[in-house]
Chain A
């Protein structure tokens, strides 16, 4: 355990700037906040979506719709993993029909989480379009899915892991790359 090295990729300031940039890109591409709904994927995506919403509200004077999605029940490995993950509530307090949904997550890796999230959103209605915003795109996709907005694109090996730490959950704002032990 102790042999694992952490390389810091983003500190608190850099993380803040990255989230700010993504919020501007969302506004630029969609020409404002009208019709946009941010949906964060639990756990960390939900907090990043909230921060994006705060910045957008500050710059545009209007807050985008904001929702939280728990994708546990849509996982493709639900019945093969040993222990059932705890299900948290999904909160989408608006009509998704005809909205531009921006899905928000911390790390994009295999794409399976996003696939699950897309299926979940379709059960709520028929959005006009769905876009994907991630803080870290680390490559190695297993499904044909790509990010519309990415804080950073990395190309790291499968022996490494990107950890996004968000103060609301982890007590600190930072992004690190960590090497996995042989045993992990």
Chain B
């Protein structure tokens, strides 16, 4: 069994078997981060470039740690410290990196499709670390790993995604991944933040949070991207909080033992209240731990296969 691709651009195009291979591999990698020496020699001598052209703490450090725990060398490039400030195009940046003999590029970019563009121009694997509102495949995969780990199986679970679905690449990757593995996905949020025709992806749409929570096995709360609300898509943060914030009280409407997830960073007291975020149901930090294992699995499966 193998990944039938050179790049990881999104979960939409992956087969169920490929998703399962990644999850199985990641599950084996989790133990490495528990060892006294958290490093295996699998990617010794390989170089991975983290090209992060949008702010990121979690994803960038997670990719960096994943690479280091596989003994690969990493180079981090961020927009503020690179030649992009001097007007270099993305393609020129990438070609220059390739000329330095690297083995993979992880890219985060504000424009949907930037990783696909890069992949079409480079000979080495390109891994999407989040591209605009398109996809964030490794986040989707780490959510799947966390759910599978806690619930045993994903098939048949009722998973609710709450928040700004329109602008969320996490929601899109989650929807593709969860549906592929047979979960029943619901989305809930203000009508202005739910894309039209999203039902075509096989999800159910709710506008009332209390209704949406009924019988949910998993609740994924999205960050309200305050920086993207300039267009007045929600009347006020206060109204959003009143109508959609996940509280302990609201969470009690879901199935007993429901998992509470959030891709981070959390706006405490806006989409998620303090008490719920730190409750026993919250697996938010497990998501972060699993993120490293998922990224190790992706790097392992993609690098060095296509010489």
Which A positions have Cβ atoms within 8 angstroms of B?
A: 70, 72-74, 78-79, 82-84, 86-91, 119-120, 123-125
Contact = CB atoms under 8 A, between A and B. Distances in A.
B31 A74 contact: no
B304 interface: yes
A86 B42 contact: no
A88 B297 CA distance: 12
B274 interface: no
B29 A87 contact: yes
B93 interface: no
A87 B29 CA distance: 8
Interface in B24-59: 24-25, 27-32, 35-37, 39-43, 45-46
B1 A86 contact: yes
Contacts of B43: 79
Given A86-B1, A86-B24, A79 B304 contact: yes
Contacts of B37: 123-124
A88 B41 contact: no
Given A86-B25, A88-B28, A74 B1 contact: no
A82 B3 CA distance: 12
Given A73-B42, A123-B35, A124-B37, A87 B305 contact: no
Contacts of B304: 78-79, 84
Most B-side CB within 10 Å, residue of A79, A82, A120: A79
Interface in B58-80: 70
B72 to A, nearest CB: 11
A73 B1 CA distance: 17
Interface residues of B, number: 28
Contact of B305 (A73, A83, A123, A124): A83
A123 B39 CA distance: 8
Contacts of B31: 89-91
Nearest to B46: A79
B2 interface: yes
Given A78-B304, A124-B36, A87 B41 contact: no
A86 B21 contact: yes
B183 interface: no
A89 to B, nearest CB: 4
Contacts of B29: 87
A-B pairs, 7 with minimum CB distance: A79-B304, A73-B42, A73-B40, A89-B28, A123-B37, A87-B28, A83-B2
B300 interface: yes
Contact of A78 (B24, B25, B42): B42
Contacts of B2: 83-84
Contacts of B41: 73-74, 119
B24 A84 contact: no
Contact of A84 (B39, B46, B300): B300
14 contacts: A70-B28, A73-B40, A74-B42, A79-B304, A84-B300, A84-B304, A84-B305, A86-B24, A87-B297, A88-B28, A89-B27, A89-B31, A123-B40, A124-B36
B133 interface: no
B102 interface: no
B22 to A, nearest CB: 11
A67 to B, nearest CB: 11
Given A73-B42, A88-B28, A125 B36 contact: yes
Nearest to B30: A89
Contacts of A82: 305
A90 B34 CA distance: 11
B48 to A, nearest CB: 14
B86 to A, nearest CB: 35
A19 to B, nearest CB: 27
Interface in B244-263: none
Nearest to A71: B40
A70 B35 CA distance: 14
A122 B36 CA distance: 10
A125 B35 CA distance: 9
Contact of A124 (B24, B28, B35, B70): B35
A72 B39 CA distance: 13
